[in-house]
Amino acid sequence: MLVLNNSVDNVAEKLHSCQLLLAAELKRICEKNNIKYYMIAGTLLGAVRHKGFIPWDDDMDFAIMRKDFPRFISACENDLGEDFELQDMFSDEHYALPVAKLLLKGTNFTERNSSKNKSKKGIFIDIFPYDNIPDTEAQRKKHNKNTYFLKRLFLAKQGYSIAEKGQLLKALVYFALRVMSMLVSKKWLRNRLDRELRRFENQTTKKVAALGGAYSYQKESVEREWFFESVELPFEDITLSAPKEYVKYLTYFYGDYMTPPPEDKRNNRHRAVEIDFGRY
């Protein structure tokens, strides 16, 4: 990893400090515009188990219901502080993930799988739209298949490196997807993916899912009722919003969530190849 403007020893501390600035800005924007947001995944786990960051984690994850996402995008366009920028598939033509990122301007956080991609790469937090997913198993299988294929086709189109070293079969698959993606434009593929993600947005379904999440479609599918109400939980020196039923959520995802994993399993996910903290 190439680290600029800092020593390697305190990279995690500096990264967390920058991400906390981003989280505070997300909170300000959402509270000002009456938009519900929630800590999810490792961020929620960190809030409950560590009262802040999981020490070895390198990101922050939040969710906003899809129905509220247009208002969130609009609020960011009109009211973000000058140090921040919102990135999604429509604001950055080179970006291919179905999740928004709040970026800290003047910084750089380049991940291995996007190092050859031209999208903006500031230090970030993830904001996932929670999409409705259908209630029947047959519809879920079809929705899963369609979104999975389109997401990977779009990644290939945008030049993301997905296969790890030595994963020859996976590399061949993504090469085939890259060739296939040449048959359609980025605009068409982006719109087609967006439409498929939102296919059930006008239905009231039992479950919602972060379809851009790191887990499978099935694992990312959570009960809507867990998010009917929210609570504030301490996170480092601020408080952030969480689903009121966070115990059910964390038990579903992690089982015995209060017991940390063995040291050899304490890995971060993003595998940065270059970090620049700028003036921070």
What is the assigned CATH class of domain 2-137+207-276? alpha beta
Per-residue confidence at 11, pLDDT binned at 50, 70, 90? Answer: confident
pLDDT at 167 over 90: no
Using a cut of 0.85, tell me whether the model's pTM lies above it: yes
What pLDDT score was predicted for residue 164? 67
pLDDT at 163 over 80: no
Please give the average per-residue pLDDT across 176-192, as a whole number: 92
What pLDDT score was predicted for residue 6? 61
Please give the average per-residue pLDDT across 69-82, as a whole number: 96
Task: For the chain, give every domain's residue range.
Answer: 2-137+207-276
CA distance 208 to 252: 14
pLDDT at 34 over 60: yes
Per-residue confidence at 181, pLDDT binned at 50, 70, 90? Answer: confident
What pLDDT score was predicted for residue 250? 98
pLDDT at 42 over 70: yes
